[in-house]
Structures are given as structure tokens and as C-alpha cells.
Copies of this chain bind each other. A is one copy, B any other.
């Protein structure tokens, strides 16, 4: 049955921390302090420790490397290719962390350098010949803002793949769950929520149809009774997330790929 274990295998956790900041869909990256890939940008993460469950490791690493606590976490996928890390055979489990706009990434103790980057600035290490490197952010729809301003970032290890998978996971969850509310502060307007969808999916949605969809779903949103003024225009009602976590039928997004069933 079970063959002999391989003692040299180690287990790690990597975090894909996403937020909406500066009118863009962004990911948290840390600069690697040690070899391999010293100085390169990478996902925050670290090794499983004695007596820890995977989720505890994810929570601890998030706190240690970024100072964030109480963030919603979703397990996404495991990666175990023997050559994915030059230090040896390291199996890593990726977690998606979604947080509302945050004070500053440098609050962390461990990672001297942590930055938020628009996901569309990520580049697959596969610098093929001619065309501009494929990017995660480009896939859905036309890019909105300052465009190709920043430099493309090539991540360490297979972190581009891990990030791309988690981002696609998040985009899919937006269709079927209330995960978008995790990008918002506790109280938010329907416009805030729609803005999350628009930035994550990369195209604009009809505000009337969006409102109808999220308001018609029972217990999806809950009125706080408050309003947000201060800007020109009619004040918007404030909501908090309701107890219903699923959106059925789904909020449909524009299909693009014809992926594998997995």
C-alpha cells in the first residue's frame, strides 16, 4: 500500500494576497531576502511548522510577512513538481487571501520590502521570443488605467503560475459567492461592490442590472441604515454582507477561454 515516505520532502504555504487599491486590482509581493532568487519578487509564504495545520501556517505567514490579521483565506491548489524549488522537493499549498484596502504593506516585521502591484504587471517568466510577455492581468478585457506604465515583474520559482491560478480562482468565485465583499470594508455601497467586480474582471458592468442581481438575492446584502455622502450626487445606501454566501444562479461574466475541465 503506502510505500516508504520520502523524508526530504518539505511542505510550504504560499499566499496570493489580493486587494483593490488605487483603482486597480493588486497583489502583494515580497522581495526575497535569501537565495535562491535573492532580490527577486515572490509571493509571501513559508514552511509548515511543528503542530501546525495548513490554514494556521497561512495565517501565521501572513501576519509575519505583512502584518495582516483576520483576513479571509481560501485554499486553492497544491504544487509539487520536483524541480519547482532548487533547494529540493518542496510541496507548496497556495492560499488566496482577500483584504480591503489596507494601511501599508510595510507594517510587517519580516519582509523588509513588500509592495502592492497591479496584477497586470505580473509577467510569466517564459520570456518567449517575440510578443510582449503574457500577463495575468491582461486576459480579461482591455486594461483601464495608466496602462503599461510599470515594469513587468518576473516572480521567483513557479509563483507566476501560482498567482495566475489563484487569480483565476478569485475571478470564478466572484460569479458564485460573496467573495467580492471581502475586498470591501465592513460597510460599503453597491457601487463599491460593483467596482470590485469591474476591476477584478477587467470590464464594466451595467449598474442597474448589477444592483438588481445583488439585491434580489435573499440575504446577500443587508442594509445598515446609513448613507454615504460627501461626494456630489445622491448619497448611497450602505450595506454589509449578508448571511447568504452563494449567488444562485451565478453572476455571469464574459467567457473567454475554453479551459480543461479541471
Which residues of A are at the interface with B, using a C-beta cutoff of 8 A? 1-12, 30, 32-34, 44-54, 57, 65, 72, 74-75, 77-82, 89-91, 93, 110-111, 173, 177-179, 243-246, 248-250, 252, 255, 258-262
Contact = CB atoms under 8 A, between A and B. Distances in A.
B11 A261 contact: no
Contacts of A252: 248-249
A11 B80 contact: yes
19 contacts: A1-B30, A1-B44, A3-B47, A5-B47, A6-B10, A6-B47, A9-B9, A50-B89, A52-B80, A54-B78, A54-B91, A57-B80, A75-B262, A177-B261, A245-B261, A246-B259, A246-B261, A248-B252, A250-B250
Q: A54, A90, A243, A261 — which one has the most chain B CB atoms within 10 A of its CB? A: A261
Contact of A245 (B81, B89, B248, B259): B259
Contacts of A77: 75
Contact of A49 (B6, B45, B248): B6
Q: A9, A81, A90 — which one has the most chain B CB atoms within 10 A of its CB? A: A9
A244 B260 CA distance: 9
Contact of A54 (B47, B80, B244): B80
Given A1-B34, A1-B111, A74 B10 contact: no
Contacts of A258: 243-246
Contacts of A54: 78-80, 91
A49 B9 CA distance: 9
A262 B74 contact: yes
Contacts of A250: 249-250
Contact of A110 (B1, B57, B173, B261): B1
Q: A30, A75, A179, A244 — which one has the most chain B CB atoms within 10 A of its CB? A: A75
A44 B5 CA distance: 15
